[in-house]
Amino acid sequence: MTTASQQAQPPAPVHSPRQRGGIGGSVRDSLVVGKRNLIRMMRIPEVVIFGLIQPIMFVVLFTYVFGGSILIPGAPSGNAQAYREFLMAGIFAQTVTFATAGAGAGIADDMHKGLIDRFRSLPMSRGAVLTGRTLADLVQTALTLVVLAVVALLIGWRTHENLAKVLAGFALLLLLGYAFSWIGALIGLSVRTPEAATSGGLIWLFPLTFISNAFVPVNGMPAVLQHVAEWNPFSATVAAARELFGNTNQHVPKSVTGAWPMEHPVVASVIWSLLIIAVFRTLAVRKYRSATA
């Protein structure tokens, strides 16, 4: 038989999961989510394989189909080797930026399946879901770059600087890829389906990568496009990679318009990438909070 005091006792309050605060907790949560995405990638190997095939096709097509037709200033007509050394930094940069579409599609798929809502119910940092996803994409991009570099060496691409500078060039490429993955994250959170995220992640990348110094020298473009290309963040990283790989050409000027990023490509590449991360990470985390509220 219950007493009156027991009957009057209010029910215990139900507490919602609390987030673990602090930078340390956010880092741990991000690594856990990143590990989850890496395991998922390993269980779907065709995603990784298809991601490797596309850049390899670009290398082969541009080298053997267009290489003999595109003239690099100072090189003999039809000199494919000169074009290979000019081309590869652009192909590397295009590869890391095209990973943006995959990042956006993955996040859109998680949203579509309700997985993001499950993450949100857990006591974890809000930004960890997106940070973990972008870190996992960075690992996949690094793997793709390794394979692509091996293919490039097999077709005759060579570097002419020490190992430290070459590794620094690849680090700048990965930093650009990580920065662009945050753009993909924002796109993935802003659309309703993975298919829309894939289309939205690619449609703006083609003009960004082709109106640049990646595949042809800028001095052959119309004057307006020269300015656009030389202030393009993508162009800064391509120029920085060429410089660190030792693939620059003394007959091709650093800049035809006097653009500061082309005169200081390494510094400009770092600034552009960090700026993109700061802006789009903030927007993506804010969109994540409102989209799942």
Write the pLDDT tens digit of every residue in 133-164.
888 889 989 988 998 999 899 888 899 999 99
With a pLDDT cut of 70, the percent of the chain lying above it is: 86
Taking 60 as the threshold, does the pLDDT of residue 3 lie above it? Answer: no
At 21 the pLDDT is 53
Which one is predicted more confidently, 96 or 3? 96
What is the structure's pLDDT at 10? 52
Mean of the pLDDT values across residues 67-92? 75
Which of 14-23, 70-79, 260-269 ranks highest by mean pLDDT?
260-269
Question: Residue 43: pLDDT above 70?
Answer: yes
Per-residue pLDDT at 183 exceeds 90 = yes
Cα 75 to Cα 206: distance, rounded to the nearest angstrom: 28
**Binning pLDDT at 50, 70 and 90, where does residue 279 land?**
very high
Give the pLDDT of residue 223.
Answer: 92
Burial track 196-233 (b if 16+ CB lie within 10 A, e otherwise): bbbebbeeebeebbebbbbbbbbeebeeeebbbbbbbb
- The model carries a pTM of 0.84
Q: Which residue is it, tokens 């318009």?
A: 257
Inside any domain, residue 35: yes
For the cut 70, the answer to whether the pLDDT of residue 15 exceeds it is no
The listed range with the strongest mean pLDDT (170-179, 216-225, 279-288) is 170-179
Q: How confident is the model at residue 213 (pLDDT cuts 50, 70, 90)?
A: very high
Residue among 75, 272, 91, 283 nearest 170 (CA): 91
Could you tell me if residue 4 is inside a domain?
Answer: no
| Residue 253, in any domain of the structure | yes
| pLDDT tens figures, 239-253 | 999 999 999 887 778
- Domain assignment of residue 6, yes or no: no
Averaged pLDDT, 102-106:
80
**Is pLDDT at 180 greater than 80 in this prediction?**
yes
Whether 214 has a pLDDT exceeding 60, the answer reads yes
Indicate whether 18 belongs to any domain.
no
Average pLDDT, whole number, for the chain? Answer: 82
Mean of pLDDT values over 182-194: 87
Structure confidence at residue 114 (pLDDT): 73
What is residue 80's predicted lDDT score, i.e. its pLDDT? 67
Residue 131 within a domain: yes
158 vs 7, more confident: 158
Find the domain containing 35 and state its range.
Answer: 23-291
Would you say residue 68 lies in a domain? Answer: yes
The mean pLDDT value for 13-33 works out to: 64
> Is 1 part of a structural domain of the chain?
no
Query: What per-residue confidence (pLDDT) applies to 68?
Result: 65
Q: What's phi and psi for 29, nearest 5 deg?
A: -65, -40
Are 91 and 55 in contact by the 8 Å Cβ rule? The answer is yes
Residues 6+ apart with CB under 8 A from 233: 176, 261, 269, 272, 273, 276
Number of domains the chain contains: 1
